[in-house]
Structure 1
């Protein structure tokens, strides 16, 4: 089962995903894709970690998500945007290569024998990027979001802390 949750920054995606996971399991997994590069981001990660109590098992993996998932569990994957940025960085900003790598890894995830709750961002709804690298990343994100949403069993769009069920 795959549940996909997307929305803008601070739209309530993570809170909604965590609430959903706790309704489905007593001991969900939180799979973080972020790599901490500076102090500001480290504080944000610590704030997210403080929101989860002892019921959660935390796993950190920037690229190969499928290799670290215990079987038959409820797993919150947070988030596709940071996961894609890791591929984008690894490929030296090659949009097409990053997309191929991410889709390849997602092929392994889509057969996971548990429940994945996948969080992503809708970054293409804002201002048009003023650099080629920015536009390439927005395209990468949009194409991957479409790919995941198409395969997902359920999809939600978050606005102001409220979920809108898409499918």
Structure 2
């Protein structure tokens, strides 16, 4: 089963995703797939907070910032995997090229790599819970590299939502079920950051 959980910063989406993973595992193996890089005080604080949230829930943590399809399938099989989170994975793949500038071709390559990782996890694990971020609502026009990253996130969020058996947006700590095969919010975001738009 694939469950997509989205929401804004501080919405409670991570806590809800953890609860969902624990419920789906039903006493079985729980893996927490951490994709955030450990650099900087802010990252360390987020890691500390997320570890505190997971404490006592039975998660085995695997830290892997990209190339998730390299994870040993034997570790994933029979497990419920919580991927925290898709935006970090996308940033690591997209900006990890080492290039000073990134453009459309880099975005398409990063999108393909992230989708390959998601398919791999979904095919190997019994359950996959994917945490996504809504970072599109500020309406600010950023530099080209950041805009390409936002377009990448819109495409990935939409793809994950289309594949999901269930999708939720967490708003002020309240999980709101999203109906249908496509997330309405993700579709709007993808349109807003389409290459032809001048946001």
Q: Secondary structure at the match of 2:38?
A: coil
Aligned 8 A contact 2:33 2:84 in 1: yes
| TM-score normalised by length of structure 1 | 0.92
How far apart are 1:59 and its partner, in Å?
0.8
- Where structure 1 has 5 or more consecutive residues not aligned to the other structure, the ranges are none
Query: In structure 2, what is the Cα distance between the partners aligned to 1:81 and 1:120?
Result: 6
2:66 alignment counterpart? 63
Map 1:6-17 → 2, pairs under 5 A: 6-17=6-17
Query: In structure 2, what is the Cα distance between the partners aligned to 1:70 and 1:97?
Result: 25
**Structure 2 residue 84 is the aligned partner of structure 1 residue 78:** yes
Q: Are residues 130 and 113 of structure 1, via their aligned partners in 2, closer, same or farther at CA, if it must alter by over 3 Å?
A: closer
List structure 1 runs of 4+ shifted beyond 4 angstroms. Answer: none
2:24 alignment counterpart? 24
For 1:111, which of 120, 123, 127 is the aligned residue? Answer: 123
Q: Secondary structure at the match of 2:136?
A: helix
Query: In structure 2, what is the Cα distance between the partners aligned to 1:114 and 1:17?
Result: 16
Aligned 8 A contact 1:17 1:117 in 2: yes
Q: Are residues 101 and 3 of structure 1, via their aligned partners in 2, closer, same or farther at CA, if it must alter by over 3 Å?
A: same
Aligned 8 A contact 1:128 1:135 in 2: no
Query: In structure 2, what is the Cα distance between the partners aligned to 1:89 and 1:98?
Result: 9
For 2:94, which of 72, 85, 88 is the aligned residue? Answer: 88
Aligned 8 A contact 2:6 2:169 in 1: yes
2:40 alignment counterpart? 38
Aligned 8 A contact 2:80 2:125 in 1: no
Higher RCO (C-alpha 8 Å, min separation 6): 1
- Larger-Rg structure: 2
How far apart are 1:160 and its partner, in Å?
0.6
Query: In structure 2, what is the Cα distance between the partners aligned to 1:141 and 1:58?
Result: 24
Query: In structure 1, what is the Cα distance between the partners aligned to 2:136 and 2:76?
Result: 33
How far apart are 1:132 and its partner, in Å?
1.0
Q: How many pairs does the alignment contain?
A: 167
| TM-score normalised by length of structure 2 | 0.78
